[in-house]
Structure 1
Amino acid sequence: MNDSIDLKDYIREIPDFPKPGILFRDITPLLAEPKAFQAVVDRLADYYRDKQITAILAAEARGFIFAAPLALALGARFIPIRKPGKLPFETRAFHYELEYGSDSLEMHTDSIHSDDRVVIVDDLLATGGTISACIELARHSNAEIVGCAFLIELAFLNGREKMNGCDVFSLIHYDAE
């Protein structure tokens, strides 16, 4: 069964990428191994299966990789959150500050509703900036945010602190760089 798969075995560590001093956690070996990829989707689905989830939100692009199959596994809608100008219909935007500048995310105004039970998915929780922006977009629709799900959590960067009280579920934890 997929429970016996150690997902960390499929994460490649690349030192000094994208700049010196950063240890990059590369998920492409996991994506290239169908049993490991399936284990991720199964474990996420098992965690949320009995929580009546109606929508899965994810920010582009790596969040889409896990969110779309999770939405199918749970019988929920998949809602893409994108950079400005990428969605063709009327959008709601959220602007947020980063360490060295600012950014924005958008979603369609009709994508989630006040009666939705939402999970927000991404591949990695680092500092939490992107996901906290996704949380704010979902809250503007008065949807219930059931939780935030990640393949990897870099716990030493304290991203959980920006999750605004949302339940955080991560499959792989790194406590130090």
Structure 2
Amino acid sequence: MRSLDEVLKDGIRDISDYPQAGVVFKDITPLLADHGGFSQVVEALAAFGRDADGTVVVDKVVGIEARGFILAAPVALALGAGFVPVRKKGKLPAATYEESYELEYGEATIEVHQDAFEPGDRVLVIDDVLATGGTVEACLRLVRRCGAEVAGTAVLIELSFLPGRDRLAAERVEALVTV
């Protein structure tokens, strides 16, 4: 069996100048198409929802739109936990809480259903990439606003040349690979 490092190296490719000139996009579609590799990544992310003895310590797993959904839903299944989507504004049908955050050029808003969590739920937040940290920071505010407790955040890729980790310095943030 390949090591997790090999799976990540083989499954994440760089696409230059996407979605705009000067950006190097981290494409995870080869990883997702590799059943064995994808399974290893799901298990590695799920480990952040367990204690040192392997006991599950989270009640819900949050996935941030859109690629975070792809990773978080199977992690929730692996942990026997519920899955909660955090979506872009206007995509959820019931009453929501929303949080806005700054982007490089402008602002964005994410939402979660007001009844997504029970008070005291322990939550693992999953996303594909940690870049500037704005999206994750807004998500953590939403989780806490709902009365839940953030157990940690796990990402597939951390971009070390951007300030995401610094922005989230007070939080438990884990990454499978840092570039």
1:110 equivalent among 86, 108, 115: 115
- CA distances 1:53-111 after superposition (whole Å, capped 9, x unpaired): 00111211100000000001011110011112211111111122222111111111011
Hey, what's the Cα distance between the residues in 2 that align with 1:73 and 1:172?
21
Q: In the alignment, does 2:161 pair up with 1:156?
A: yes
Q: Equivalent residue for 2:50? A: 49
126, 129, 149: which one pairs with 1:144? 149
Q: CA shift at 1:141, angstroms?
A: 1.8
Segments of structure 2 that go 5 or more residues without pairing to the other structure are none
Q: Normalising to structure 1: TM-score of the pair?
A: 0.92
Question: In the TM superposition, what is the alpha-carbon distance from 1:113 to its structure 2 partner?
Answer: 2.6
**Structure 1, gaps ≥5 residues long:** none
Deviations 1:119-139 (A, max 9, x none): 111011111111111011011
CA drift at 1:142: 2.7
Task: Specify the code of the residue in structure 2 equivalent to 1:122.
Answer: D
State whether residues 154 and 175 of structure 2, in contact with CA within 8 Å, keep that contact through their aligned partners in structure 1: yes
TM-align CA RMSD = 1.5
* Equivalent in the alignment of 1:130: 135
Partner of 2:15: 14
Q: Distance in 2 between matches of 1:3 and 1:143?
A: 35
Structure 1 residues 25 and 4, CA, compared in 2 at 3 Å: closer, same or farther?
closer
User: Alignment length, in residue pairs?
Assistant: 174
Overall identity of the aligned pairs, in %: 50
Give the TM-score normalised by structure 2.
0.91
1:165 pairs with 136, 159, 170, which one?
Answer: 170
Partners of 1:30 and 1:36 within 8 A in 2: yes
- The 8 Å contact of residues 5 and 39 in structure 1, kept in 2 or not, is answered as no
**Tell me, what secondary structure is at the counterpart of 1:172?**
strand
- Give the corresponding residue for 1:120: 125
Partner of 2:94: 89
| 2:68 pairs with one of 37, 40, 63 | 63
Query: Secondary structure of the residue that 1:138 maps to in structure 2?
Result: helix
Residue 4 of structure 1 deviates from its aligned partner by 5.3
SS at match of 1:155: coil
AA of the residue aligned to 1:120: V
Match for residue 31 of structure 1?
A: 32
Letter in 2 for 1:107: V
Query: Any conservation in 2 of the 1:58–1:121 contact (CA below 8 Å)?
Result: yes
Shift of 1:30: 0.4
